[in-house]
C-alpha cells in the first residue's frame, strides 16, 4: 500500500520536473495555458448596414448555417476562392436578410476582412481595422 501511494505521488509530481513544453499523454503540462497568446485576430465576416450607416452584426444563420465555425469556413472559401463565390455568398446573405423581419432596417450587406484585438473588441467595444471585400444591396 505504501509503495502504491509513493508511486502515485511521484506520478502526480512528475510534471513539475519535466520541461514545460513537453506535453505527453497521460500527464500533460497543459502548455497551451502557460504561454502568452496573441490577442489579435484577423478574419472574414459579413456586416449589415442600415440606411443611416449604422452597422448591424449578422447571425451565422444568415450566412447559411447555425454554426459559427461553419460560417467561418464559408467565408474563407468565398473570400479566398473564385470571385463568383464571394458574390454568390453576399447575394445569399442579402436575400436571407431581406426575409428576416428582425433585420428590416438593414439595407445592405458588407463582407469585410477585419483585424481586431480580441480584448479591445470584447471588453472595450473598440472596432479594429476592417477592409471591405464586397458590398451587396438588400432587395425587398
Q: What is the largest CA-CA distance in the chain?
A: 77
Query: pLDDT tens digit string along 26-41?
Result: 667 677 777 788 999 9
Among 102, 91, 101, CA closest to 139: 91
Query: pLDDT tens digit string along 61-92?
Result: 999 999 999 999 999 999 999 889 999 999 99
- Three-state DSSP class for residue 16: helix
Query: pLDDT tens digit string along 121-135?
Result: 999 999 999 999 999
Residue written as grid cell 520541461: 19
- The pTM score is 0.77
Amino acid at each position: 500500500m505504501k509503495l502504491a501511494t509513493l508511486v502515485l505521488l511521484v506520478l502526480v509530481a512528475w510534471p513539475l520536473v519535466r520541461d514545460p513544453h513537453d506535453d505527453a499523454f497521460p500527464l500533460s503540462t497543459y502548455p497551451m495555458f502557460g504561454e502568452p497568446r496573441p490577442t489579435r485576430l484577423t478574419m472574414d465576416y459579413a456586416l449589415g448596414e442600415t440606411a443611416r450607416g449604422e452597422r448591424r452584426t449578422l447571425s451565422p444563420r444568415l450566412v447559411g448555417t447555425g454554426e459559427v465555425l461553419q460560417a467561418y469556413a464559408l467565408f474563407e472559401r468565398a473570400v479566398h476562392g473564385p470571385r463568383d463565390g464571394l458574390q454568390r455568398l453576399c447575394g445569399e446573405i442579402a436575400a436571407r436578410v431581406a426575409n428576416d423581419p428582425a433585420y428590416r432596417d438593414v439595407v445592405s450587406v458588407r463582407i469585410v476582412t477585419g483585424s481586431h484585438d480580441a480584448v479591445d473588441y470584447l471588453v472595450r467595444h473598440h472596432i479594429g481595422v476592417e477592409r471591405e471585400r464586397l458590398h451587396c444591396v438588400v432587395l425587398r
